[in-house]
Chains A and B, each alone.
Chain A
């Protein structure tokens, strides 16, 4: 009841805002954003009801119970506790705490026992520059064995495969960040499927020494959840919560370079992919080169594969991006960009005054 009341208030508010804005001329994008929560991608509206509405494509989850705040995660990069060693090398220290007893809301109304790095799925994005020394203080607060295993070049004992960390245990991983690129990190305790399905993974970015062109940088992890343990995913997401960016579209600027660090951590399914609407992008496989491997609108990845996507939008408006495996899209891996024309909207603010 409370939920439907809140929805009702939001709808009424939206309508009033919509009518108000409509009296002054606005761009299509603004209108669309205001009405987008009332719009249905299936073409059918929800019937009037005395009961409750079940709609993960438009309703959000309570942030306090949510497995992550996808909008915060999207642009949050952790550079660690930085110090400079005597030889001039940068040392970056990170603390990652593994846990396996949290129960979090992963989709509206669905609660799942998630296993986490620092309490979220995906875990925090860690970021360093090529040549830095990365030190990971790993603590296992869970009831099972866990490790921190990342891709990239490092010594065997820093690989997080043979030194299993038991409940209450600690381990310090230390290695030089090389080469530059985008890498997944995850727990490497068997059964791997179980540890990955429950959420023990994150993204690790190593920047080249000469930085890339300035851009609006986003991190996206494609994942899934098998919540009834039949070895098939019940939900597919980008950044942890199905459909989240459908009702919270990612705000980007027209003509601005967008850079996505994209990682596929999807368990159980052979492949996953990323498709951008009404645009083309440059794709850098694993982000290990500065010349693009592809100029395309769709890229397909197996588990653990990743890359960098770069594009900018020519026209303002709402644009979808989603898995072009439509099954995944219709089980949550469906999102929106809201491209804004900043110059026009500043004009709009002026004219309003």
Chain B
């Protein structure tokens, strides 16, 4: 071992030690915070009990189930149960003592009436009452074929048919001149922008309504949306690179179908061909529709009948425009590949069915919130690519009247259809 090698070895060891020193300091600090010193230091407030009533189920044998979870800092004992603020005998399984994040099932014998509103409450050992309101009681569906089929039908009605109806605009889409293309594409951006924001607001609403401490969930919504957006952009650009490499090497299968504007010729391969864009829109919308399915399913499960009907009508109208969004990039292609169009439609529409199933049978607020956030990330990713596409094909999109008016009309149109929600 010569001097240099030895020197580099000590350097390595030194570096390793240096890496660990801050971690060790942090570790020691955390340990001391849990010790007596930390306990006296952190003894600055009262940890209030927090109970989340996650789910309420109604059964025909005159029982109501309530699923509760301790989301506070300390162990909590459930002492009493009430319906509509009237104390009732009940049973709690496995037991009344809930560790942090532990859950229990409460069974309350109660002759409930279909369609009436009930507030289920629990009182902890320190006398704090927590409650959850169900707007309209409805028999909790058991997982069965008929229910499965009914949910699938709702999913098809809300997600698949409207998207396909929108795809029928494809023939009109073909042969549009550049201005009309810009106009339609920016309408799509407007539509998607609305959907992305709408999904975030929707998930925020769920967070505020259902979590005693929504700020953490709100942060989670933003983080999930961002991660979804960035990782989808990363995956898409990898795919595009691969594709453009292949296109350069082989017979330019797809690209020869595209009539490129003069300026876009060189940049086109770096970005997207219309079919990739359409596919991307389909995937983004599919993720979004999965979230919509979850919302519909859960509103059925929670007995929000009026809301369910409004959701179905509203989403149906909304989703027709999604079909338009999918076909809009294809205006300059000469392709008559109907099969491909059908696949795009299915990618966008089918997830609604899956969402309705999951939402309708085992609803969790957190999963719905997460899927909505992933969906809005996917939509923002699509907006990013369409915008780049528009920038590549136009000198200055912000001074282009077709693009600006299209964007505004897209948003306003979605807002108008959204009034049904």
Contact = CB atoms under 8 A, between A and B. Distances in A.
Contact of B80 (A1, A40, A45, A107): A107
Contact of B96 (A43, A54, A107): A54
B80 A109 contact: yes
B87 interface: yes
A225 B93 contact: no
A303 B359 CA distance: 50
A316 interface: no
A58 to B, nearest CB: 7
A51 B127 contact: no
A227 B121 CA distance: 14
B339 interface: no
A228 interface: yes
Contacts of A46: 89-91, 109
B88 A42 contact: yes
Contacts of B90: 46, 53-55
Nearest to B89: A55
A interface: dominant SS: loop
A225 B127 contact: yes
Interface residues of B, number: 33
Contacts of B45: none
Contact of B91 (A54, A106, A110): A54
Nearest to A58: B89
A110 B78 CA distance: 9
Interface stretch (A94-102, A287-295, A327-335): A327-335
User: Contact size class for A?
Assistant: 35 or more
A227 B87 CA distance: 14
B94 A47 contact: no
Contacts of B104: 51
B107 A332 contact: no
A314 B78 CA distance: 43
B94 A51 contact: yes
Interface in A38-72: 40, 42-47, 49-58
A111 B93 contact: no
Contacts of B89: 40, 42, 44, 46, 53-55, 57-58
B87 A49 contact: no
Interface in A280-333: 327, 330-332
B93 A234 contact: no
A111 B127 contact: yes
A234 B127 contact: yes
Contact of B87 (A1, A106, A112, A242): A242
B91 A330 contact: no
Given A42-B109, A43-B111, A47-B109, A109 B96 contact: yes
A113 to B, nearest CB: 9
A57 B111 CA distance: 18
30 contacts: A1-B95, A42-B109, A46-B89, A46-B90, A47-B63, A47-B91, A49-B91, A51-B94, A51-B95, A51-B96, A51-B105, A53-B92, A54-B79, A54-B90, A54-B92, A54-B96, A54-B106, A55-B90, A56-B80, A106-B127, A109-B77, A109-B79, A110-B79, A110-B126, A228-B127, A228-B128, A234-B129, A235-B87, A242-B87, A331-B87
Given A44-B62, A53-B89, A54-B106, 15 more contacts: A44-B89, A44-B110, A47-B91, A49-B93, A51-B95, A53-B91, A53-B92, A57-B87, A107-B79, A110-B126, A110-B127, A111-B126, A111-B127, A227-B127, A327-B85
